[in-house]
Structure 1
Amino acid sequence: MTIDHDSVPRSGGPLSGPRRPGTGLLDRPTGTAHTRTVSAPRRQRRAVRSRLALPLALVQVDAIALCTSTGIANRVIDPAAPLDPLLGVPAVLPLLLLLNLAGGLYRARLTLSVLDELPALTVRAVVATAFAVTLAGCLDGRWPDCGPATPARLTVLLGAQLVIASFGRGILYHLVRRIRRGHPSPALVLGAGLLGRKVATVLGEHGEYGMRPVGFLDADPPLLAGDTGLPVLGGREVLEREVRRHRVHHVIATAGAADEAETAAALRDAARLGCQVWLVPELREYGSLPAAPTAAGDHLWGFPCLRVDRPAMRRPGWAVKRALDVTVAAFGLLLLAPVLALCALAVRFDTGPGVLFRQQRTGLDGKVFTVLKFRTLRPSNEHESATRWNIAQDHRMGSVGRLLRKSSLDELPQLWNVLRGDMSLVGPRPERPYFVMRFSQAYPEYADRHRVPVGLTGLAQVNGLRGDTSIEDRARFDNRYIESWSLWQDVKILCRTAALMLHPDGS
């Protein structure tokens, strides 16, 4: 559970910042990618099928390589023995595929090279084989037999597997390059600056990347933007129209756009539309840095290039996150029923009838829902409930209310919101529509917090950004959580929240 509300930034008139059109939750243009249409899912399905073609082919190559090398090893070492030619494949194959998947060896890349992947393939093949042999020895009869674990057999197995896998990948990559040259996918370049123009020129001259630039997106392009022969189509407001019009599959965001905040927002909109998004940073040394856990590094004719992962809610693990939410919320409501009953009785005696406090909050995609909490203070009227920021130091709050707030027990009814799907266990903290409107006007990134369901706790809260802290900092942490989301990150946040509840401060 979290510590309750956030607060206004400490300095600089937090709610009086300049309004930037198109950046707030309530300012999104009608034609932008945030507005979901009937054809968007169809485009996303086509894009998913296109992206899965190469990874699935690579999986088949690795499976064929392992099966063939196992048969070779079994026959070369002892041709007369009545061994199954595929002995050991069921034990090693699942481990090998999982390790390759976790290592990013099945990701679609711009630059395809077998030699670049060979060290990673070798390490994972050795680890998978050693692990399978160990399991077969420890779980005798309960794990598929790996066959004789002699040094000679394992050496032949690994050597043949790497040779066959490399040969198969080389042929596959050659075919992929030919297909890319013959059928390039339309691409949009975000940013018509010098770097954007160079990237567009490279894509036009090198068909092996499989992209055909159709134009630039830049709200305020430089005067020389048209020297590549490509049109400047407009700003972020035309993104969805151009994606539909040209059937764009790739969007490349480059540094040097006139309005980088708008470019970042357009990048997120492109991901929502199902486009594959690439980021070309201006810092060339970026190519020497390790790739982020949720992204893959690559290069585009020498320009460092980052493949931006799919939005959090479209990743395979998101279904597991929702299942975890439902399970924890359901068991939590059952196990904590006595605590809920005691809290309700205490509130009833302290503040009178109406133990639950209902308030409008903004959730996923800006939709408003009713959040439930135990009442710790009875507001004077609805206006005060909707617009008063923080009641932690209100003199009208009784001892029961202070105890509930300090221990975060007043948040327990929100488990029902989690069970209903209004909220998640982990996510950006929900706020009232009045403050969402004002913060979105002052801080361009605030509205982007609503790309995922709101949560009981979040990355901002466990980093101390609760109570009287900066709204700008909290929005930055919330967006960082969304862009780097993983199930393990949720587990870490829940563990840190539990630790914070042992030292509550009531904020």
Structure 2
Amino acid sequence: MVRRGQSFLSLIYAFADFISVQLMFLLSYWLKFTSNWIAYEAPLSFKHYMLWSFIYGIIAIGISYFLNFYSSKRKKQFSFEVFKIIQVHFISLLMLLSILFVFKEVHVSRSYLLLFLVNCILLTSFYRYMVKVTLKSYREKGYNKQFVLILGAGTLGRKFFDNLSHYPELGYDVVGFLDDYQDQHDVDLSRYKPIIGKIDDLESILQEILVDEVIIALPLNAHSKYAKIINVCEKAGVKALIIPDFYDYLPSRPYFDNFAGMPLINVRDIPLDELSNRFLKRTFDILFSAIAIIITSPILIFIAIGVKLSSSGPIIFKQERVGLNRRTFMMYKFRSMRMQTEESSDTNWTIQNDPRKTKFGSFIRKTSLDELPQFFNVLFGHMSVVGPRPERPYFVEQFKEEIPKYMVKHHIRPGITGWAQSNGLRGDTSIEDRIKHDIFYIENWSFLFDIKIIIKTIVNGFINKNAY
């Protein structure tokens, strides 16, 4: 059954959050007005600040309930909790500022409010992390279990059982399987939990055995049984979850969408489809590329002179690449090779000791300095600072036939560097491995992920042994 303890645990979390807010009020007040560590500012009375801290605590708890933050997060990663904590406290502060404005409380210190906000986020994140680590350890030892019944002992059910056994820290225990074809499976089921009945026995088994969740892992030809199964589960107060028989065709994070009043499974969740995420990424791209161009301008001038002196021809090499939504654009690089025909440059792969390269060109390719003009591509909107590397149309047509899911990379803007490149997959390396990294980035994008890739690119250095 759905545990009654979850509602009690929610109350404990709410109480702990409220206490955390009041503790951070005391710490922030001391840091700002008593410790002399921060520039002195005449405060309102302690009781006055304490009143608003009390109101803030109530607002934060209300927002947490509204955002469903006190529900079970057994299956969630800690990063999800941190995101929710930041969301709760930012919304709570905005609401508090609105109340202060209405009541004309203009003398409350703004720097104190900022300090209070940061401290609340840090303390709440810390204690939630400690709780999560403690619960994981507790569950690994066999406590705080949730019990699962799997419907279907076929490929789907067995795959789920195997996967679940790799995560003991989640605290799930399979009580058994229900299956109508117990004697027709062509594998040894002895290493799995026992088959304790048939699908039609579900109602009686839920009355006899403590079950928290029922996992429906039946093939598509058993679709007619779903309605009855779900009704039985809801009648017993047990959660029902469905593993689609076609899950192998889905990415790691599909999600439900709604179109024309019908629920649809969107087979690829792309965070950058959201306007707010695109706006954040584009704003960062413009600021970062503008600053990068200004800082590297002496290097740009030096390379331009070097290219001009090393061989005849234009300083900037422009080449057609495939970008966002399969649209082509001209990508800029410092020219590192002698002049050649357009067909040759568009269809030939650069090799080690390539005779087309100049000596100066070899240096700027090895150090990735030839890529610097691509910051102008970022400013023009052709590229992003971080994203999958763009490829020439000739090779795109070739790779899309040879490599599964290759074209997924064109759902977002290409980048100067990416998750694949920051992990060493540059130059003459596996295209398949690069695509796997690109798809992981596309499905798991976040602003902090971009920052991590940029830092990792800088720390690993720009010299690439595979860059010919």
CA distance in 2: counterparts of 1:378 and 1:138, whole angstroms = 64
CA distance in 2: counterparts of 1:384 and 1:464, whole angstroms = 27
* Residues 427 and 454 in structure 1, CA contact (< 8 A), matched pair in contact too: yes
Give the Å deviation of 1:380. 3.2
- The DSSP-based 3-state class of the residue aligned with 1:467 is coil
| Alignment CA distance shift 1:443-1:165 (3 Å) | closer
| Alignment CA distance shift 1:327-1:156 (3 Å) | closer
Identity %: 31
| Alignment CA distance shift 1:480-1:166 (3 Å) | closer
CA distance in 1: counterparts of 2:310 and 2:256, whole angstroms = 48
1:472 corresponds to which of 432, 436, 442: 432
| Alignment CA distance shift 1:355-1:502 (3 Å) | closer
Is structure 2 residue 233 aligned with structure 1 residue 340? no
Q: Deviations over 1:255-298 (max 9, x none)?
A: 421x723x44994795999998889xxxxxxxxxxxxxxxxxxx
CA distance in 2: counterparts of 1:468 and 1:273, whole angstroms = 46
| Alignment CA distance shift 1:329-1:158 (3 Å) | closer
Q: Deviations over 1:440-491 (max 9, x none)?
A: 2222221111221110001101111112221111111111111111111111
- The DSSP-based 3-state class of the residue aligned with 1:316 is helix
* Residues 126 and 158 in structure 1, CA contact (< 8 A), matched pair in contact too: no
* Residues 323 and 390 in structure 2, CA contact (< 8 A), matched pair in contact too: yes
CA distance in 1: counterparts of 2:382 and 2:289, whole angstroms = 12
Instruction: Give 5+ residue unaligned stretches, structure 1.
Output: 1-110, 174-192, 206-220, 231-251, 280-306
Aligned residues: 304
CA distance in 2: counterparts of 1:439 and 1:143, whole angstroms = 66
Q: One-letter code of the match for 1:488?
A: L
Give the Å deviation of 1:422. 0.7
1:260 corresponds to which of 245, 248, 252: 248
- Residue number in structure 2 paired with 1:139: 32
Higher normalized contact order (CA 8 Å, seq sep 6+, divided by chain length):
1
1:367 corresponds to which of 310, 327, 331: 327
- Residue number in structure 1 paired with 2:22: 129
Q: Deviations over 1:215-263 (max 9, x none)?
A: xxxxxx8544456589xxxxxxxxxxxxxxxxxxxxx983421x723x4
Is structure 2 residue 378 aligned with structure 1 residue 418? yes
* Residues 426 and 466 in structure 2, CA contact (< 8 A), matched pair in contact too: no
| Alignment CA distance shift 1:165-1:225 (3 Å) | closer
Is structure 2 residue 350 aligned with structure 1 residue 390? yes
Q: How does 1:304-383 map to 2 (within 5 A)?
A: 311-314=271-274, 316-378=276-338, 380-383=340-343
Q: Deviations over 1:68-126 (max 9, x none)?
A: xxxxxxxxxxxxxxxxxxxxxxxxxxxxxxxxxxxxxxxxxxx9x75454344334333
Q: One-letter code of the match for 2:248?
A: E
| Alignment CA distance shift 1:309-1:253 (3 Å) | farther
| Alignment CA distance shift 1:273-1:462 (3 Å) | farther
* Residues 419 and 437 in structure 2, CA contact (< 8 A), matched pair in contact too: yes
- Residue number in structure 2 paired with 1:118: 11
- The DSSP-based 3-state class of the residue aligned with 1:327 is helix
* Residues 323 and 382 in structure 2, CA contact (< 8 A), matched pair in contact too: yes
| Alignment CA distance shift 1:128-1:453 (3 Å) | farther
Instruction: Give 5+ residue unaligned stretches, structure 2.
Output: 34-40, 72-154, 158-177, 179-198, 204-218, 229-240
* Residues 348 and 354 in structure 1, CA contact (< 8 A), matched pair in contact too: yes
2:392 corresponds to which of 426, 429, 432: 432
| Alignment CA distance shift 1:167-1:260 (3 Å) | closer
* Residues 428 and 454 in structure 1, CA contact (< 8 A), matched pair in contact too: yes
Q: How does 1:11-30 map to 2 (within 5 A)?
A: none
- Residue number in structure 1 paired with 2:415: 455
* Residues 114 and 166 in structure 1, CA contact (< 8 A), matched pair in contact too: no
Q: One-letter code of the match for 1:126?
A: I
Query: What TM-score, normalized to structure 1?
Result: 0.50
Q: One-letter code of the match for 1:441?
A: E
| Alignment CA distance shift 1:148-1:477 (3 Å) | same
Give the Å deviation of 1:344. 1.2
- Residue number in structure 2 paired with 1:12: none
CA distance in 1: counterparts of 2:434 and 2:260, whole angstroms = 26
